Amino acid sequence: STDVAKLAGVSQSAVSRVFTPGAPVSAAMRDKVMRAAATLGYHPNRLAGSLITHRSHLIGIAIGYLGNFYYPLAMECLCRRLRQAGYHTIMLFTEPGEPADTTVESFLQYRVDGVILASVGLTTEWVTACERAGVPVILFNRFQSDSRVSTVSVENLEGSRMVAEFLVKGGHQRITYIAGLPGTTAQDEREAGFRKALVRLGLPLFDRAVGEFETEPARQATRRLFDRPAAERPDAVYACSDQMALAVMDVIRFELGLRVPEDVSVVGFDDVPQAAWPSYDLTTIHQTIDEIIEATAGVLFERIERPEAPPRRVHMPVSLVVRGSARLPGGNAPS
């Protein structure tokens, strides 16, 4: 960096500012330094620099899978938001349903400034390891009882309550539920909220099947639920993710020859872009990804800048988006 400063005719601190994400520097200064760096083949060693500054400007993101339509979009928005704040991301995958211990061990070796866990959890031992290293842990769209980690999730219970009330007001009597991956926060809270609301409304859950948040398991679950005499088939299906709800609609319409919503109403959860496609027009629970990402980034930045700040538990609101896949209250099909 001393050689770059000499060639560019600037101070070494100016070179440092140019290569520090988010540092104020003029366009002319940046151009001068970058041309000198290119001439000399200079690249700053981030890991070596972190030994001095105790900041790597790296954020580790651990994720169990990207098969669910929701997560690729959310992770894209999250990485973009972190980049705007001067952070780079390292994304590593874990086995679905398994804790991210090995992945987090790798993150700590890279001296990351923070860890975000999406659709995965962390054992107590590795929460302690992160705490000792001064690395905050944020759970995205998941809850964990350990009070040392921050969580950002949506109001799953409230969303399922909205769905239950909507379907009951629509005159449905045989309401079924297609579950996600057992043991995950989203699945467990959404089913609990749905069942509780149905009990309060005086209508028991007609049946359930497991779709694991995936397309093919959701198709198989739908076939099983409808493998009965026509008079005993479900008249409404609540799938706790849009990806499963779209698979449900495909089976109902193209394999069983039934109409949506005239014969069967279908409701999902997430409001992914595909839900609004005219071919599906899915009624669903909307969660605003931009707001969720901003809340996640805010919690992370606070914990990095103020290590003494207590972990936070953030629950983001949801809303019901009524489209054409479900009968309206009063028993009428959407126009």
- pLDDT tens per residue across span 204-239: 999 999 999 999 999 999 999 999 999 999 999 999
* Other Cβ atoms closer than 10 A to 137: 28
CA pair distance 72, 94, nearest whole angstrom:
15
Name residue 178's beta-bridge partners: 209, 239
3-state secondary structure of 143: coil
Please tell me the predicted confidence (pLDDT) of residue 96.
67
Please tell me the predicted confidence (pLDDT) of residue 52.
52
Quote the tokens at residue 306: 């103020």
Please tell me the predicted confidence (pLDDT) of residue 97.
67
Please tell me the predicted confidence (pLDDT) of residue 98.
75
CA pair distance 284, 286, nearest whole angstrom:
6
Give residues with Cβ within 8 angstroms of 117, minimum separation 6. 61, 62, 63, 100, 137, 138, 139, 140, 142
- pLDDT, one tens digit for every residue, the chain (335 residues): 889 889 989 998 888 888 776 678 888 888 988 888 888 888 776 555 555 556 788 999 999 877 788 999 999 999 999 999 989 999 998 876 678 888 888 898 888 999 999 878 888 888 899 888 999 999 998 777 788 889 999 999 999 999 999 999 999 999 999 999 888 889 999 999 999 999 999 999 999 999 999 999 999 999 999 999 999 999 999 999 999 999 999 999 999 999 999 999 999 999 999 999 999 999 999 999 999 999 999 999 999 999 888 889 999 999 999 999 999 987 565 65
Please check whether residue 155 is in contact with residue 316, taking contact to mean a CB–CB distance below 8 angstroms.
yes
Which CB contacts under 8 angstroms, 24+ apart, belong to 35-44?
35/8, 36/4, 36/5, 36/7, 36/8, 37/4, 39/7, 40/3, 40/4, 40/7, 42/1, 42/3, 42/4, 44/1, 44/19
Please check whether residue 272 is in contact with residue 239, taking contact to mean a CB–CB distance below 8 angstroms.
no
Name residue 59's beta-bridge partners: 89, 114
Bin 288: left if φ > 0, else alpha if -120 < ψ < 50, else beta: beta
Please tell me the predicted confidence (pLDDT) of residue 147.
83
CA pair distance 149, 144, nearest whole angstrom:
8
Burial of 127 (0-12, 13-18, 19+ CB in 10 A): buried
Please tell me the predicted confidence (pLDDT) of residue 233.
97
Please tell me the predicted confidence (pLDDT) of residue 43.
77
3-state secondary structure of 247: helix
Q: What is the pTM of this model?
A: 0.82
Place of tokens 């609609």: 249
